[in-house]
């Protein structure tokens, strides 16, 4: 899929990535820190993460097609290089979203009569929460860097900076 209604598909698909990856990162961080949030999100947490994951290679593929159809430019090459690095972050978001969702589903059953999780579950929650926060921040920073480089590549000589 390279063109949509005559427009380069990358220009349209990038909006899916720019929305879903940070939204997934925020939901993952909240769910990892507060299991009640993860339970409320339910299957939506890994579901949105999965759609975000799928959108990354589609957008990257469409971007590579677009790169071949524009003038050779170091800013475009830099944007393409940065874009190739998002897939591991998106995969990390999906895997951790699935883990957080699965753990939140199991939490009430593993809780004792007091409603408190067994001590052995606490270190696992700490590790998962730490990893989730790290991957969420990394993914959002990467999306920002890619988007910034793409905007610079698209707009660097396309407008009058003086307003006249």
Chain segment 62-84, per-residue pLDDT in tens: 999 999 999 999 999 999 999 99
Question: 138: part of which helix (H) or strand (E)?
Answer: helix 121-155
Q: Using 50, 70 and 90 to split pLDDT, how confident is the model at 48?
A: very high
Between 101 and 110, whose confidence is greater? 101
More confident residue, 120 or 153: 153
Minimum mean pLDDT among 10-14, 28-32, 67-71, 160-164: which range?
Answer: 160-164
Q: What is the DSSP string of 85-136?
A: THHHHHHHHHHHHHHHHHHHHHHHHHS-TTSPPPTTHHHHHHHHHHHHHHHH
What integer pLDDT is reported at residue 108 of this predicted model? 54
Please state, in angstroms and rounded to a whole number, the distance separating the CA atoms of residues 103 and 36: 11
Distance, CA of 10 to CA of 161 (rounded, Å): 26
Confidence of residue 122 (pLDDT cuts 50, 70, 90): confident
Q: Distance between alpha carbon 57 and the CA centroid of its chain, in Å?
A: 12
Is pLDDT of 40 > 90? yes
Q: Which of 123, 106, 118, 130 is nearest to 32 (CA)?
A: 130
């Amino acid at each position: 899929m390279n063109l949509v209604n005559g427009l380069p598909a990358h220009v349209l698909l990038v909006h899916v990535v720019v929305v879903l990856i940070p939204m997934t990162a925020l939901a993952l961080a909240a769910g990892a820190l507060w299991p009640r949030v993860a339970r409320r999100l339910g299957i939506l947490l890994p579901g949105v993460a999965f759609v975000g994951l799928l959108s990354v290679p589609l957008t990257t593929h469409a971007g590579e097609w677009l790169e071949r159809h524009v003038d050779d430019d170091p800013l475009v090459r830099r944007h393409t290089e940065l874009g190739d690095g998002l897939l591991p972050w998106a995969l990390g978001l999906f895997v951790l979203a699935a883990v957080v969702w699965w753990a939140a589903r199991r939490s009430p059953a593993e809780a004792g009569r007091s409603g408190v999780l067994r001590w052995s579950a606490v270190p696992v929650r700490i590790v998962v929460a730490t990893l989730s926060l790290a991957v969420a921040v990394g993914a959002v920073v990467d999306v920002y860097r890619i988007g910034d480089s793409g905007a610079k590549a698209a707009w660097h000589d396309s407008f009058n900076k003086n307003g006249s």
